[in-house]
C-alpha cells in the first residue's frame, strides 16, 4: 500500500500544495499558477473560505498586511457564498500528478491558523485521513535538509514570521538554526519575531515603495545605493547579547524581567526606519531609497554570515542547507558561501512559504513515521506533465490565424537550431517544455529567452514585454561545464539562488546579464537534469561561442508564470514576443510590413 501525503500551506505569499508518495515528492504547485491570479490566497473570498480558513477574524487585517491589489471591503460584501472551487482545483491538480484521488490520501499536513476548520473540510471528504499540523520553522528546516543531497548538514532558516506557537506562549518565531543527520533534525536555536530579519527586509521593501512579495526588487535596487544608511542602522545591531522582551508588558510583569540571550538583535532599528517616508507610487528612486535598500541588503548579508559562522562552530559540518523566505536572497546566499567555511550549500528552490508543503510532507514521512530519506530534490519541475496531444490541441486551435506561422519539427534538434538562430538574430523568444517549475524562478521550462551579448537587450525586453523596473537584472542560464569561465563560482547553482561575480573581462561579452555591481544571478544547466533546455543553450553556443542565454520568467508584469500550453500561446500572442518554442512546435508571428 502506498503511503500518500497531501500537504498544503496558506500564507500571505500564496497557497502551496505538494503530494508525497512513499517518501518521494511527486508533484507540487502554487494556487496562482492554476487560477492565474498572482500571489493568489483564495480571493475574492467566499463564505466557505471564511469558514474553512477562519478569515472572518478581521478581514481588514488582510488588506493591511497582505498588500494585494484588491478591495476586501467590496469583495467581502459581494461574496460568492457557494464553494471553494479554486482550492479544490489546486488539490485535484496535484493529486492528478500522482494518479491518485482524495480517497487514496492517508495524511494531510497543513499549516496555518484555524487548523480545526481545515481538518473538518478534509474529514468530510475522507474519514480515514490523518491530519497533522507541523510547526512552521521546523517544516522549513525539513524543507531545507531532508531533500538535500547531504547525509548531515547545518540548517539555517530565516524568514519573516511563522504562526503563533503554543510552546512559546503563542508568540511567533522568525527562524531557527538546526543540525540534520539521517532522518533527524535537532533544533539548536530559535529566533523570536521581534528579531525578524525577513520582517526588517519587508519593512525596507515598503519604504522603497514596493509591495509584499517584491523583496527581489529591493535586492536589485540595493546595488545602486551608497553605504550611508547602512552605517547609521548598523550601529543598532548587537550580537551575542542579552535582551528584554518589553513588547508585552503584561507578560513581562507576570514572568518577571529575565533578559534572554540573543544571537543578534536590532535595537531601535524599527523606530529609526519609521522616520523615512515610503516612496510614493510614481516617485523617482532617489539616492535615499537606493541607499536604504543597500542598507537592508547589507544588514541581511551581515546577519546571515554571522549565523552561518555560528552554525559552523556549533556543528562542524561542511554542508549548509537553507530555507525560509530570506533564502531567496541570492546575493546574501553567495556571501555566505564565499565568506564562511561551508564548502557545500543547498538552498531549497522554493525556499519560502510556498515551498513549505514539501518540508511538511517530508517531516510527516521521515521524522514522524521514522522512515529513511528516499527523496533528493534534483530539480524543481514538479508541475503536471502535459501529453503531446494536449499541446497539439492547444496549437491546433490557432491553425486558422493568419498572423501566426506554425511549424512542427519531428526532430527536436531542428527546433533548438531555429530557436538559437532567432535568439542570435535579436528576437525575443519564449520556451515552454515539460513540467512547470514549483518555485518562483523559471528554470528553462517556462522561460522568455534572449541574447545575453546584446547590451541593449535588458531595455528591449523591458520596453517590449516585461515592463520591469530598469534597475532589476536579468539572469544567465549557463552550461554547467562552462560556468567557471564566466562566473566566480566553484559549485553548481541550479536554482538561480547564488549571485557570484562575473569573471574579469567577461561582462563585456555578456552585458545583458551582468548587474551594475558586476554580479549575476546564475543558473547552471545540467544536461542530465534538463536535456531540452541544455540542448537549446548548446545550439546557441555552437552558433556564437557563448554558452549562455538570458532567461526570464514566461509571464508579463502582474501575472503568474504560464502553466498550460494554452497559457503559453495566449501570453505569446498578447505580448511582443517574437517566437514560441512549445514542445515540438515552433510558432512565429507574421508581421505586416
Judged by beta carbon, residue 157 or residue 345, the one nearer Fe ion is 157
In the bound complex, what is the minimum distance in angstroms from residue 174's beta carbon to Fe ion? 9
In the bound complex, what is the minimum distance in angstroms from residue 308's beta carbon to Fe ion? 19
Judged by beta carbon, residue 353 or residue 567, the one nearer Fe ion is 353
Residues touching Fe ion, count (CB under 5 A):
2
Report strand pairing: 130-132 vs 107-111.
parallel
* Host H or E run for residue 457: helix 457-461
In the bound complex, what is the minimum distance in angstroms from residue 11's beta carbon to Fe ion? 7
Please choose, out of 42-50, 346-354, 549-557, 582-590, the segment that lies near Fe ion by the rule CB under 5 A.
Answer: 346-354
Q: Which of 215, 301, 353, 451 binds Fe ion (CB under 5 A)?
A: 353
3-state secondary structure 154-218: EEEEECCCCCCEHHHCCECEEEEEEEEECCEEEEEEEEEHHHCHHHHHHHHHHHCCCCCCCHHHH
CB atoms within 10 A of CB 551: 28
Burial class (CB in 10 A: 0-12, 13-18, 19+), 196: buried
Judged by beta carbon, residue 157 or residue 502, the one nearer Fe ion is 157
Q: Residue number with the shortest CB distance to Fe ion?
A: 159
Tell me whether the omega of the peptide bond preceding residue 425 falls within 30 degrees of 0, making it cis: no
Please choose, out of 239-247, 271-279, 348-356, 557-565, the segment that lies near Fe ion by the rule CB under 5 A.
Answer: 348-356
In the bound complex, what is the minimum distance in angstroms from residue 134's beta carbon to Fe ion? 12
In the bound complex, what is the minimum distance in angstroms from residue 7's beta carbon to Fe ion? 14
Is residue 49 close enough to count as binding Fe ion by CB under 5 A?
no
Question: What size, in residues, is the chain?
Answer: 593
> Which residues, in sequence order, are CB contacts of 393 under 8 Å at separation 6+?
none
Grid cell of 327 as nine digits: 533564502
Site for Fe ion in 148-167 (CB under 5 A): 159
In the bound complex, what is the minimum distance in angstroms from residue 386's beta carbon to Fe ion? 31
Judged by beta carbon, residue 161 or residue 262, the one nearer Fe ion is 161
Report strand pairing: 319-323 vs 344-347.
parallel
CB atoms within 10 A of CB 482: 16
Please choose, out of 93-101, 163-171, 352-360, 514-522, the segment that lies near Fe ion by the rule CB under 5 A.
Answer: 352-360
In the bound complex, what is the minimum distance in angstroms from residue 136's beta carbon to Fe ion? 6
Judged by beta carbon, residue 191 or residue 431, the one nearer Fe ion is 191
Grid cell of 576 as nine digits: 511582443
Judged by beta carbon, residue 48 or residue 330, the one nearer Fe ion is 330
Judged by beta carbon, residue 27 or residue 324, the one nearer Fe ion is 324
In the bound complex, what is the minimum distance in angstroms from residue 64's beta carbon to Fe ion? 19
CB atoms within 10 A of CB 191: 25
Judged by beta carbon, residue 49 or residue 159, the one nearer Fe ion is 159
Nearest partner of 297 among 557, 14, 550, 519, judged by Cα = 519
> How many angstroms separate the CA atoms of 41 and 199, rounded?
20
Strand partners, 18: 7, 28
Please choose, out of 351-359, 428-436, 513-521, 585-593, the segment that lies near Fe ion by the rule CB under 5 A.
Answer: 351-359
Residues 443 and 496: beta-carbon distance below 8 Å: yes
In the bound complex, what is the minimum distance in angstroms from residue 257's beta carbon to Fe ion? 30
Judged by beta carbon, residue 159 or residue 380, the one nearer Fe ion is 159
Judged by beta carbon, residue 137 or residue 446, the one nearer Fe ion is 137
> How many angstroms separate the CA atoms of 494 and 513, rounded?
16
Query: How far from each other are the two terminal CA atoms of the chain, in whole angstroms?
Result: 63
DSSP state of 46: B
Judged by beta carbon, residue 32 or residue 353, the one nearer Fe ion is 353
In the bound complex, what is the minimum distance in angstroms from residue 159's beta carbon to Fe ion? 4
In the bound complex, what is the minimum distance in angstroms from residue 157's beta carbon to Fe ion? 8
> Which residues, in sequence order, are CB contacts of 563 under 8 Å at separation 6+?
29, 33, 34, 36, 383, 436, 446
Nearest partner of 93 among 556, 436, 572, 447, judged by Cα = 436
Residues at the site binding Fe ion, with contacts judged by CB under 5 A: 159, 353
Amino acid at each position: 500500500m502506498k503511503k500518500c501525503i497531501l500537504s498544503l500551506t496558506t500564507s500571505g505569499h500564496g497557497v502551496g500544495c505538494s503530494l508525497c508518495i512513499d517518501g518521494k515528492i511527486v508533484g507540487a504547485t502554487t494556487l496562482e499558477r492554476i487560477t492565474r491570479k498572482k500571489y493568489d490566497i483564495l480571493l475574492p473570498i467566499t463564505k466557505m473560505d471564511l469558514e474553512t480558513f477562519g478569515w472572518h477574524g478581521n478581514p481588514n487585517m488582510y488588506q493591511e498586511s497582505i498588500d494585494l491589489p484588491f478591495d476586501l471591503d467590496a469583495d467581502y460584501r459581494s461574496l460568492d457564498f457557494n464553494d471553494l472551487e479554486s482550492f479544490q482545483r489546486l488539490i485535484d491538480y496535484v493529486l492528478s500528478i500522482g494518479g491518485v484521488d482524495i480517497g487514496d490520501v492517508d495524511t494531510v499536513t497543513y499549516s496555518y491558523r484555524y487548523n480545526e476548520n481545515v481538518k473538518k473540510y478534509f474529514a468530510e471528504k475522507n474519514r480515514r485521513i490523518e491530519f497533522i499540523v507541523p510547526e512552521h520553522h521546523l517544516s522549513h528546516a525539513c524543507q531545507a535538509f531532508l531533500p538535500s543531497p547531504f547525509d548531515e548538514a547545518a540548517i539555517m532558516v530565516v524568514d519573516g514570521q511563522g504562526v503563533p506557537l503554543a510552546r512559546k506562549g503563542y508568540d511567533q518565531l522568525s527562524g531557527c538554526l538546526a543540525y540534520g543527520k539521517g532522518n533527524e533534525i535537532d533544533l539548536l536555536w530559535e529566533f523570536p519575531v521581534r528579531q525578524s530579519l525577513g520582517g526588517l527586509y519587508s519593512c525596507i521593501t515598503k519604504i522603497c515603495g514596493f509591495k509584499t512579495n517584491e523583496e527581489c526588487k529591493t535586492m536589485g535596487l540595493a546595488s545602486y545605493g551608497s553605504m550611508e544608511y547602512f552605517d547609521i542602522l548598523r550601529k543598532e545591531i548587537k550580537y551575542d547579547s542579552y535582551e528584554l522582551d518589553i513588547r508585552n508588558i503584561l507578560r513581562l510583569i507576570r514572568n518577571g524581567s529575565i533578559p534572554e540571550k540573543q544571537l543578534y538583535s536590532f535595537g531601535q532599528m524599527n523606530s529609526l526606519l519609521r522616520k523615512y517616508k515610503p516612496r510614493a507610487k510614481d516617485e523617482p528612486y532617489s539616492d535615499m531609497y537606493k541607499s536604504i535598500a543597500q542598507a537592508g541588503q547589507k544588514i541581511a548579508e551581515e546577519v546571515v554570515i554571522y549565523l552561518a559562522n555560528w552554525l559552523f562552530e556549533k556543528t562542524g559540518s561542511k554542508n549548509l542547507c537553507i530555507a525560509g523566505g530570506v533564502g531567496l536572497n541570492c546575493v546574501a546566499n553567495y556571501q555566505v558561501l564565499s565568506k564562511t567555511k561551508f564548502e557545500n550549500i543547498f538552498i531549497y528552490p522554493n525556499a519560502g512559504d510556498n515551498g513549505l508543503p514539501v518540508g511538511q510532507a517530508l517531516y510527516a514521512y521521515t521524522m514522524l513515521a521514522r522512515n529513511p530519506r528516499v527523496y533528493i530534490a534534483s530539480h524543481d519541475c514538479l508541475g503536471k506533465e502535459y501529453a503531446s496531444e494536449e499541446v497539439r490541441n492547444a496549437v491546433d486551435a490557432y491553425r486558422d490565424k493568419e498572423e501566426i506561422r506554425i511549424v512542427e519539427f519531428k526532430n527536436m534538434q531542428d527546433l533548438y537550431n531555429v530557436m538559437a538562430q532567432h535568439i542570435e538574430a535579436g528576437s525575443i523568444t519564449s520556451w515552454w517544455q515539460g513540467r512547470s517549475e514549483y518555485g518562483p524562478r523559471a528554470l528553462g521550462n517556462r522561460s522568455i529567452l534572449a541574447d545575453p551579448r546584446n547590451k541593449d537587450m535588458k531595455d528591449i525586453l523591458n520596453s517590449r514585454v516585461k515592463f520591469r523596473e530598469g534597475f532589476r537584472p536579468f539572469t544567465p542560464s549557463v552550461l554547467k561545464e562552462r560556468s567557471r569561465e564566466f562566473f566566480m563560482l566553484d559549485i553548481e547553482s541550479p536554482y538561480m539562488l547564488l549571485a557570484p561575480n562575473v569573471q574579469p573581462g567577461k561582462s563585456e561579452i555578456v552585458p545583458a546579464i551582468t548587474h551594475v555591481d558586476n554580479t549575476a544571478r546564475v543558473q547552471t544547466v545540467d544536461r542530465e537534469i534538463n536535456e531540452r533546455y541544455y540542448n537549446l543553450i548548446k545550439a546557441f553556443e555552437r552558433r556564437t561561442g557563448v554558452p549562455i542565454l538570458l532567461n526570464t520568467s514566461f509571464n508579463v508584469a502582474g501575472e503568474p508564470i504560464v502553466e498550460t500550453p494554452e497559457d503559453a500561446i495566449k501570453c505569446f500572442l498578447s505580448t511582443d514576443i517574437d517566437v514560441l518554442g512549445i514542445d515540438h512546435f515552433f510558432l512565429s508571428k507574421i508581421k505586416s510590413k
